[in-house]
Chains A and B, each alone.
Chain A
Amino acid sequence: MDQRSQIPTIGILLAIVAFIGLLTAGLEPALSIAVLILWVGSLFLASLRAPDTRAQKTEKPLSRDNMRELIEYAATPLLLTQANKIADANRAARKLLGRHIIGQDVRVAFRQPEAIALLDQGRNGTAIVRGLVRRRDIWQIKRQTITDNLAVIELVNQTAEADISRAHTDFVANASHELRTPLASIIGYVETLSEDAGEMDPSTTRKFYGTVLRESRRLQSLVSDLMSLSRVEAEKHDQPSERISFPPLLERAARDAAGAERTDRLIFDVSTDAVVAGDAQQLEQLVRNLVDNAFNYGANDKPVTVSLHTARDNQVRLTVADQGEGIAPEHIPHLTRRFYRTDPGRSRASGGTGLGLAIVKHIVERHRGRLDISSTQGEGTSVTVRFPVVLEKDDSQGDEIATDATLS
């Protein structure tokens, strides 16, 4: 089969015969040897260079290697299983489930009973699985047999569709009550003003107008907060990818939130120039909300510290700390709930909508970060947010960073 490595015997024999012929014909021996060497050498060279068209690859069109290459760059997560072990997973699947799953039992990757039922029976079909990677996500798993013990598993994300309808009902339920309260008082005061026009003394009139204005402003900020909350919620499944140098954004947004008269109470303590993958607008809003809270609930003349340091596991830690009276521990777990207020009267008086921390929480979740609130009564409250940092070196392989997707 391998023609190339064969020595061109016939050619060499011919050359030797010619060589003997030349010698017997009385040619100079040195010249004869030179002719022989040239002849044989050219034969060897020719045989080495011989283009061999027949030796092209004749692999089977669908070997395991081919299949691997075929699925590797597909956008949908795809897995190959062999006898209920994961033989291979493409890039998207590794990003989703982690690279550790290759070589493991399928149950390690899919531990949900619905998925196990489908995969154990070895039949073709689909199953809907909840909480595959993050809790409450919904994935459709499709299994298709290829050969005897080889099967391909395809994953389709259906979380977003299910979420939209739920978010919609939540929004209506939450918002209607909160919107009605300021509206009721606006209508009430305006009615009084228009009915008793002229009879009322100017100071009362001014007071009423003031209330109407205040309530309208509250309504305005409520609407804009609700809008941003629903926007963040709508996008929460696509992790932002814009690269942002965090410190300048932090400083700008914090000064913005503090305003001219409070800006000298801000203390910055920044020791990193971390780059995060994020949505600039949302990160600014996060900082604004936190700093605004710190000023509103902190003591009137005490500073607010904004610090940014690197933390372990390639994370950056942002802390906004005030020196106020602190929050009672029983309130802390509920702080990120919408419209939850530890002291309703005071929060409303300071113009709070009850949505600030809920928005912060959603932004943090969308950026795959973590939010921690700690407070000591009498000393103050500090809110800590941790974000994964973009590692410049890891540019080409997004896989490593993506394992963080399981955190929340």
Chain B
Amino acid sequence: MSDHTVKAFDEDITRLRGLIAEMGGLSEVAIQGALEALVRGDQELAQKVIDGDKKIDELETEVDKLAVRVIALRAPMADDLREVIAALKIAGVVERIGDYSKNIAKRVGQIDGREKFEPLTLLPAMGDLAAEMVHDVLTAYSARDADLAREVIATDEKVDAFYNSIFRNLVSYMVENPATISSAAQLLFIARNLERIGDHATNVAEMVHYAATGLYPPEEDR
């Protein structure tokens, strides 16, 4: 981006991008932590993820304030305005991603008999994919990389496929083992959360694409 006459505006934009990157980093760590806590049954780690969400919320408030201030004071136009609006919206979505991770972490304690609970092995691969989407979309945001954003959008299909696969698997597992229904239902919700994380990453990818090019990505992008 070329420099502006008002240097303070550049400073503000840089800070805004820095804040979003920081939020993104925290949400990435949150997903990772939640999944690790889930696989290992690590309550302590789960609690850390839950506590960590506060920091993401704080950062979102900070982004909100800064963005509103920039709009009010500098009245940005064209791509500058797109940049600020995108930052505002992305911060909201990243905060949601953090919430879903927190929700996954909260469910860790409610799964019984994890030693031989076979469906537990299905989730990490899906979680990896969702976490990768979040990672890639944040990189795409930092680099204003529309191509990478489109890759992320394409990956969402895979996450959806995983979700459907896990859903069927879990339902048939519940039918065969009624005793595990409550634990399996928790896993269903976790799978659902991961699927939502994927959707949100896709949303961010669309905004990144928009902020970078001024166009929404084409519908059929494969």
| A407 CA / B24 CA spacing, docked (Å) | 18
| A330 CA / B139 CA spacing, docked (Å) | 30
Q: List residues of B (140-176) whose CB comes within 8 Å of A's CBs.
A: 142-145, 147-148, 151, 158, 161-162, 164-165, 168-169
Min C-beta distance of B144 to chain A, whole Å: 7
Contacts of A109 in B (CB 8 A): 142
Question: B120-144 interface mask toward A, CB cutoff 8 Å, 1 = contact, 0 = none?
Answer: 0000011010011001101100111
Contact A135 B24 (CB under 8 A): no
Contact B165 A105 (CB under 8 A): no
Chain B: residues with Cβ within 8 Å of the partner, total of: 36
Contact B132 A408 (CB under 8 A): yes
Q: Any chain B CB within 8 A of the CB of A29?
A: no
Contact A329 B164 (CB under 8 A): yes
Q: Any chain B CB within 8 A of the CB of A57?
A: no
Interface residue from A103, A112, A337, A407 paired with B148 (Cβ < 8 Å): A407
Contact A111 B128 (CB under 8 A): no
Residues A107 and B19 in contact in the complex (CB < 8 Å), given A85-B14, A98-B142, A313-B147: yes
Contact B148 A111 (CB under 8 A): no
Q: Any chain A CB within 8 A of the CB of B40?
A: no
Contact A100 B143 (CB under 8 A): yes
Contact B161 A333 (CB under 8 A): yes
Contact B136 A107 (CB under 8 A): no
Chain B interface, DSSP helix/strand/loop, else mixed:
helix
| A408 CA / B24 CA spacing, docked (Å) | 19
Min C-beta distance of B1 to chain A, whole Å: 9
Interface residue from A105, A113, A115 paired with B15 (Cβ < 8 Å): A105
Interface residue from A105, A135, A329, A407 paired with B21 (Cβ < 8 Å): A105
Residues A135 and B161 in contact in the complex (CB < 8 Å), given A105-B15, A111-B22: no
Q: List residues of B (177-203) whose CB comes within 8 Å of A's CBs.
A: none
| A115 CA / B142 CA spacing, docked (Å) | 16
Min C-beta distance of B207 to chain A, whole Å: 16
Contact A333 B14 (CB under 8 A): no
Contact B25 A112 (CB under 8 A): yes
Contact B168 A135 (CB under 8 A): no
Residues A111 and B165 in contact in the complex (CB < 8 Å), given A131-B135, A406-B148, A407-B151: no
Min C-beta distance of A364 to chain B, whole Å: 14
Contact B32 A131 (CB under 8 A): yes
Interface residue from A104, A111, A331, A406 paired with B24 (Cβ < 8 Å): A111
Contact B125 A111 (CB under 8 A): no
Contact B165 A135 (CB under 8 A): no
Residues A330 and B169 in contact in the complex (CB < 8 Å), given A107-B19, A108-B17, A113-B25: yes
Task: List 27 A-B residue pairs with CB atoms under 8 Å apart, sorted by A's residue number.
Answer: A98-B145, A100-B143, A100-B144, A104-B14, A104-B17, A106-B18, A107-B19, A107-B22, A108-B21, A108-B142, A111-B22, A111-B28, A111-B142, A112-B25, A113-B25, A116-B25, A130-B32, A133-B139, A135-B131, A313-B147, A330-B164, A333-B125, A333-B162, A334-B165, A403-B145, A406-B136, A406-B139
Min C-beta distance of A200 to chain B, whole Å: 41
Min C-beta distance of B214 to chain A, whole Å: 18
Contacts of A48 in B (CB 8 A): none
| A100 CA / B140 CA spacing, docked (Å) | 11
Contact A131 B21 (CB under 8 A): no
Q: List residues of B (1-48) whose CB comes within 8 Å of A's CBs.
A: 14-15, 17-19, 21-22, 24-26, 28-29, 32
Contacts of A406 in B (CB 8 A): 136, 139, 143, 148
Contact A105 B128 (CB under 8 A): no
Interface residue from A112, A332, A337, A403 paired with B143 (Cβ < 8 Å): A403
Q: Any chain B CB within 8 A of the CB of A101?
A: yes
Min C-beta distance of B201 to chain A, whole Å: 13
Contacts of A370 in B (CB 8 A): 151
Min C-beta distance of A131 to chain B, whole Å: 6
Contacts of B169 in A (CB 8 A): 330
Chain A, residue nearest B159 (CB): A333
Chain A, residue nearest B27 (CB): A111
Contacts of B15 in A (CB 8 A): 105
| A375 CA / B18 CA spacing, docked (Å) | 42
